[in-house]
Amino acid sequence: MFDKLQSAFWKALTPDLVPDEPKVSAAPETLLPAKVVEALGGEKNLTSQQRVAITRIRVQLRDAERLDEPALQAPGMPAVMVLGNGVVHVLTPMAAPLAETG
Amino acid sequence: MTVPQPLQLLAPLSGVLVPLDHVPDPVFANRVIGDGLCIDPTSQTLCAPLAGVVSDLQASGHAITITHEGGAQILLHIGLDTVNLAGKGFTALVEKGQRVQAGQALIEFDADHIAVHARSLMTLMLVVSAEPFSMLTGDSARVVGGQPLLELGHVGLADDAPVNEGEALVSQPISLPNANGLHARPAAVFAQAAKGFKADIRLHRQQDSANGKSLVAIMAMQPALGDVLTISATGEDAAAAIETLAELLADGCGESVAPVAVSAPAIEAAPAAKPSAMSLQGVCASAGSALGQVVQVVERKLEITEAAGDPRAELQVLDRGLAGALAALQTLRDEAGSEAQEEIFKAHQELLEDPSLLEQARLLINQGKSAAFAWNSVTEATAELFKASGNRFLAERALDLADVGQRVLKLMLDVQDSAWELPDQAILVAEQLTPSQTAALDTSKVVGFATVGGGATSHVAILARALGLPAVCGLPAEVLALVDGTRVLLDADKGELHLDPDPVSIEQLQAQREQRALRQQRDLEQASLAATTRDGHRFEVTANIASLAEAEQAIELGGEGVGLLRSEFLYLERSNAPSQDEQAATYSAIARALGPERNLVVRTLDVGGDKPLAYVPMEAEANPFLGMRGIRLCLERPQLLREQLRAILASCALARLHIMLPMVSQLSELRLVRQILEEEAASLGHDTLPKLGIMIEVPCAALMADAFAPEVDFFSIGTNDLTQYTLAMDRDHPRLASQADSFHPAVLRLIATTVKAAHAHGKWVGVCGAMASEPLAVPLLLGLGVDELSASVPLIPAIKAAIRDVQLSDCEAIARQALTLESAGQVREALRSWRPSSLPLSPVLES
């Protein structure tokens, strides 16, 4: 509700020239370790990767069906949270970024 | 008495355990609220770790406290800084006071929404009743919701009985400054501080009160922004406790609180004391001075009945109120005395059509509330959200919403606004003035404004500048206690309101005012003459504009071109995206009005987290002035820049087109834009490029001007930002604004550096900041070697006249002297007392 109103007010007052571009247009491909990428359905299945909420990498999947849940749950894999609409959060440890450890 | 059983706490969520020490939030990491653990969740339903009663549930749904029958209290807090989400993404499944079983679902949350919009999802489970505990998990960092996690040791007895006796001491009322009220963090800081005293401490709000040492009790009270609180203390160190805690509360309990963003409502309980000082200090919102009498502007409280019988009838009442308000706003727009006012009422109309506001009001009506109650609750709640947004611009828009809300409310309640009879020479004094109040003004009787709230972007400031009346904002609340009819002297230039002006200063002021009027008259008559100094040097005086109308007005007032077109203001009234063709039409119309002989400097979109006119809601930045502003934002969204450049290029042949980039700090930014500009020009088949220049508004650009100069066609100095970045002072800061003065020698030295570098490469330098609109600065800027002054439209005649008054050689001498002075005050003093021998006093000043 607040977001809606806020954007309504921005719109009322400001030129809305171009639709907002996605924040991560050219995501660096190295955010996730290879084995995680594989379990998520491979490089081509990831439309975006975005660091959010300090400890998470938010991944948008092209095709949620290609996600390999058992592989993701295997020992040694980071914790993941599979959400609706092909969104997956991959949790990274607080101290070190995943790309370096994994 | 039974021996307390060890109590097991279950994991409220599945996820990864994070050691409390690693939680990136000092309040949690330092166990200010209590010891416990943290889970980075992988599930989205928060479950009860133990059986008990929901003793607190935050309205925003992100935190809940469960109290076990043995006294143990467990706080569950989902995410970090999630209070800012104002409830979005959280669905409470239980109610306060409800008894819950261990493992029962308490709150569902949208993990994705929170991850994207809040700082973190890390969820805390804290033992606020402070029993010792041991961890039941092994080495595994992963937990599954419902697994036993902690075992509490001895459950201590809750000791509520007051130990101290005697007279209670009570603090002064304090208006709570925290945007989100006393939520967990500030409440914990307060309780922690209170625990440091032996005295019993209670926090009071009207009839409510809470144990000041209990975090849970304070949170359960849910003190909100602007609530008037008092602290009472009983016991030997009561006086010290009151003093410390009152100060802590007023300062935000460790949260940064913006004094300007949200004005605290006047404290009703304590009638404001008679102002003791002879003058009150505020911030100049519109320059000038005036002598007049106080007129207090007070908004009447409306009586609203909550319940109603027939929702259908109430819906009709709402629709009638809305239709009436829309029509009234249309009339106000048609009759608006200034463009600024018209824009404001246009925005008000759009607010009334906001679907979410209407939906919420209708929802409440269907629940049996009256139309007036429903509308009032919805607008007030939304205004609070605006205030709590932490964004100064939005906070000021809360006033718009309240204003529109009142307008509809009065129509629904059939309350007539009594005609407002003003005495002559009225100086309006108010907490805040709403656009509706100012629209109804008889401007022939008002000579000034003095308000407690508001800043440079408030309506009072906008309106006062449009009317050419002096205004001071940010005055202490004592001003509201002044009796109607009190003679006061409003010296807006100094930001002061003098309560008992002596006859001499009144006389001086009146004489000055007459002189000023005469001078204005003369300047206006000579506006079309060239701005040539006495020793024959001609300078260009151009206009800062934001619309076609202003461009036309500028030419009428003798403007020799446009030195700054603020392109971000061009589509204020639009609610949808203007096409490139429409943009091109606007630029072309302005260019055509100027003609091929005049300069048109178009600044590319200058928006950012700090600027009111961000065309998209940006992510909150901790420090927007040091964030994605100006060209940085445009380069992050290059499509937007390309489209604007194409639109600007369409007007290439119609005027002497210049493109200017805001907030440039790196050479690479300039080169990147030049490349984009060349590409766009080539794609449109232009073989000549317009001139490309940059604003000098960041100290690094001024210091590197010699590196920029070969690659630009011109510089234009934005003195406002240059000043605040150089002096590290916010120009709207209530206590610093008066010192954030562009006349500071440091700023002057940067201007001198810029000019030297530009001239060495044969490039010209303009000044388009507020300094160029200040006649006192004219000799200084000319003396520093500036080639062009771009002033606000109404001041063009005065600036041209000021140039005609001086000799360039004298200006150079005073500028050299100014560069060696110590402070802005000294520079201003030197300029005021400056009277070069060769310059006779102007005839007007002699009279």
DSSP letter string, B589-636: HHHHHH-TTSEEEEEP----TTSTT-SSPPPP-SSGGGSS-HHHHHHH
Indicate if B759 belongs to the active site.
no
- The answer as to whether A2 is a domain residue is no
Q: Which two tokens stand for residue B554?
A: 């500028």
According to the per-residue pLDDT averaged within each range, which of B54-68, B504-518, B549-563 is highest? B549-563
CB contact under 8 A, A52 and B394: no
Lowest mean pLDDT among A8-12, B395-399, B593-597, B699-703: A8-12
**How many A-B residue pairs are in contact by the CB < 8 A criterion?**
136
- In the predicted model, is pLDDT for residue B789 greater than 80? yes
Instruction: Point out the residue among B22, B111, B575 whose CB comes nearest to the CB of A11.
Output: B575
What is the rounded CA–CA span in Å between residue B618 and residue B238?
A: 46
Residue B637 one-letter amino acid = R
CB contact under 8 A, A15 and B614: no
Give pLDDT tens digits for B454-476.
665 566 776 777 777 889 988 88
- In the predicted model, is pLDDT for residue B483 greater than 60? yes
The pLDDT, as a whole number, for residue B28 is 76
Lowest mean pLDDT among B130-144, B211-225, B592-606: B211-225
- The answer as to whether A25 is a domain residue is no
What is the rounded CA–CA span in Å between residue B231 and residue B211?
A: 10
The pLDDT, as a whole number, for residue B311 is 85
Which residues 55-84 on chain A approach chain B with CB closer than 8 angstroms?
55-56, 58, 79-81, 83-84
Closest chain A C-alpha to B835 CA, distance in angstroms = 46
Q: Which one of A18, A51, A88 would you mutate to disrupt binding with B, by most B Cβ within 10 Å of its Cβ? A: A18
Q: Which one of B615, B635, B641 would you mutate to disrupt binding with A, by most A Cβ within 10 Å of its Cβ? A: B615
* Mean predicted confidence (pLDDT) in B150-170: 62
CB contact under 8 A, A9 and B397: yes
Bigger pLDDT: B665 vs B608: B665
* Mean predicted confidence (pLDDT) in B107-117: 92
- The answer as to whether A3 is a domain residue is no
Burial environment of residue A25 by CB neighbours within 10 A (0 to 12, 13 to 18, 19 or more):
exposed
- In the predicted model, is pLDDT for residue B840 greater than 50? no
CATH for A53: 3.30.1360.60
Determine contact, residues B61/B45, Cβ cutoff 8 Å. no
CA B846 to chain centre: 44
Domains belonging to chain B, first-starting first, are 7-152 (2.70.70.10), 169-250 (3.30.1340.10), 279-299+419-517 (3.50.30.10), 311-412 (1.10.274.10), 535-694+774-836 (3.20.20.60)
The one catalytic residue in B68, B459, B498, B658 is: B459
Q: If DSSP codes are grouped into helix, strand and coil, which group holds residue B166?
A: coil
Provide the mean pLDDT of chain B: 83
Instruction: Point out the residue among B15, B578, B617 whose CB comes nearest to the CB of A17.
Output: B578
- The answer as to whether A82 is a domain residue is yes
- In the predicted model, is pLDDT for residue B370 greater than 80? yes
Indicate if B744 belongs to the active site.
no
- In the predicted model, is pLDDT for residue B268 greater than 60? no
- Give the domain range for residue A64: 32-102
The one catalytic residue in B47, B473, B652, B768 is: B768
Bigger pLDDT: A24 vs B304: B304
Closest chain A C-alpha to B827 CA, distance in angstroms = 39
- In the predicted model, is pLDDT for residue A27 greater than 50? no
Q: Which two tokens stand for residue B543?
A: 């206009």
- In the predicted model, is pLDDT for residue A8 greater than 90? no
Lowest mean pLDDT among A40-44, B396-400, B600-604: B396-400
Kindly give, in sequence order, each residue whose CB lies less than 8 Å from that of residue B507, ignoring residues fewer than 6 positions away: none
* Mean predicted confidence (pLDDT) in B259-280: 44
φ/ψ of residue B798, rounded to 5: -65, -40
The pLDDT, as a whole number, for residue B359 is 76
Q: What is the ipTM of this complex?
A: 0.72
Bigger pLDDT: B573 vs B414: B414
CB contact under 8 A, B40 and A91: yes
CB contact under 8 A, A3 and B615: no
CB contact under 8 A, A6 and B389: yes
Provide the percentage of residues in chain B whose pLDDT is more than 90.
35
- The answer as to whether A85 is a domain residue is yes
What is the rounded CA–CA span in Å between residue A53 and residue A46?
A: 19
The pLDDT, as a whole number, for residue B172 is 82
Buried b (16+ CB within 10 A) or exposed e, B35-44: ebbbbbbbbb
The pLDDT, as a whole number, for residue B836 is 55
Give pLDDT tens digits for B577-590.
567 888 899 999 99
CB contact under 8 A, A13 and B347: yes
Give pLDDT tens digits for A58-102.
999 988 888 888 888 888 888 889 888 889 999 987 653 333 333
- The answer as to whether A73 is a domain residue is yes
- In the predicted model, is pLDDT for residue B830 greater than 60? yes
- In the predicted model, is pLDDT for residue B40 greater than 90? yes
DSSP string, B106-146: EEEE-HHHHHHHSSB--EEEEETT---EEE---S-SEE-TT
Residue of chain B with shortest Cα separation from A73: B142
Give pLDDT tens digits for B565-581.
988 766 544 545 567 88
Lowest mean pLDDT among B277-281, B609-613, B627-631: B609-613
- The answer as to whether A4 is a domain residue is no
The pLDDT, as a whole number, for residue B308 is 81
- In the predicted model, is pLDDT for residue B838 greater than 70? no
- In the predicted model, is pLDDT for residue B245 greater than 70? yes
Give pLDDT tens digits for B803-813.
999 999 999 99
Closest chain A C-alpha to B414 CA, distance in angstroms = 28
Give pLDDT tens digits for B163-214.
566 777 888 888 888 877 787 777 878 888 888 888 888 888 877 778 887 7
The pLDDT, as a whole number, for residue B256 is 73
CA B365 to chain centre: 33
Cβ neighbour number for residue B830 with a 10 Å cutoff: 15
- The answer as to whether A21 is a domain residue is no
Bigger pLDDT: B797 vs B306: B797
What is the rounded CA–CA span in Å between residue A13 and residue B387?
A: 18
CB contact under 8 A, B575 and A7: no
According to the per-residue pLDDT averaged within each range, which of B141-145, B285-289, B450-454, B560-564 is highest? B560-564
The pLDDT, as a whole number, for residue B27 is 67
Give pLDDT tens digits for B113-133.
999 888 899 999 998 887 888
Provide the percentage of residues in chain B whose pLDDT is more than 70.
86
* Mean predicted confidence (pLDDT) in B99-122: 92
What is the rounded CA–CA span in Å between residue B194 and residue B451?
A: 35
Number of domains composing chain A? 1
Bigger pLDDT: B832 vs B620: B832
CB contact under 8 A, A17 and B640: yes
At which residue do the structure tokens 């630009």 appear? B712
Instruction: Please report which confidence band the pLDDT of residue B734 belongs to, taking 50, 70 and 90 as the band edges.
Output: low
The pLDDT, as a whole number, for residue B452 is 85
The pLDDT, as a whole number, for residue A46 is 87
Q: Which one of B37, B121, B346, B636 would you mutate to disrupt binding with A, by most A Cβ within 10 Å of its Cβ? A: B121
According to the per-residue pLDDT averaged within each range, which of A12-26, B25-39, B633-647, B781-795 is highest? B781-795
